[in-house]
Amino acid sequence: MRARLQRIRNNEEGFTLIEVLVVIVIIGVLAAIALPSFLNQTNKATDASAKELAHTAEIAAETYATDHSGSYVGLQLSSLPQYDATIQITSGSGAWVSAITNATGSGYAITTTSANGNDSFTITRLNGFMSRTCAPATGIHGGCTNGTW
């Protein structure tokens, strides 16, 4: 019996304090590398929502022009939800269309703002040409890279 207890005690294995500390340091380094990437995903998601809304508003504006003999004159924020009820024109829980400018016979500019209110995305149509701009126009901030998208 005594020999059996001696064998059990001799077979006890475990981790040393140094081994546990090395594992904790490795986990900390991996977290430090991965965490910033995950945090930036939130900005990208809110910007993607604003871009999608800009596209939806663009389609509503084109439908408006179809109903008005190809002219964008009279296109206003309040016109958009009549063509697509999902378009938000006031700040709330998500992205919203913040402005329609330069609504003329040949074009318009639609600006959307992301849910966090930090970035804005504009689709401009002028004489059949489309352009997409965004702010902030410096660096990479979510989905706005160097002022275009």
pLDDT tens digits, 63-100: 999 999 999 999 999 999 999 999 999 988 889 999 99
pTM above 0.85, yes or no: no
Reported confidence tier of residue 111, pLDDT bands at 50, 70, 90: very high
Instruction: Give strand ranges (E) for the chain.
Output: 96-101, 107-113, 120-126, 129-135, 140-141, 144-145
Indicate if the pLDDT at residue 5 is higher than 90: no
Which of 128, 113, 111 has the alpha carbon at shortest distance from 65? 128
Indicate if the pLDDT at residue 138 is higher than 90: no
| Amino acid at residue number 16 | T
Ramachandran quadrant class, 81 (left: phi over 0; alpha: psi -120 to 50; beta: rest): alpha
Which of 25, 44, 51, 77 has the alpha carbon at shortest distance from 143? 44
Indicate if the pLDDT at residue 142 is higher than 70: no
- Residues constituting the chain: 149
Which of 109, 111, 119 has the alpha carbon at shortest distance from 48? 119
* 50: Cα separation from own chain's centroid: 7
CB under 8 Å to 40, separation ≥6 — which residues? 142
Tokens 């709330």, located at residue: 92
Q: Which residue has the higher pLDDT, 6 or 127?
A: 127
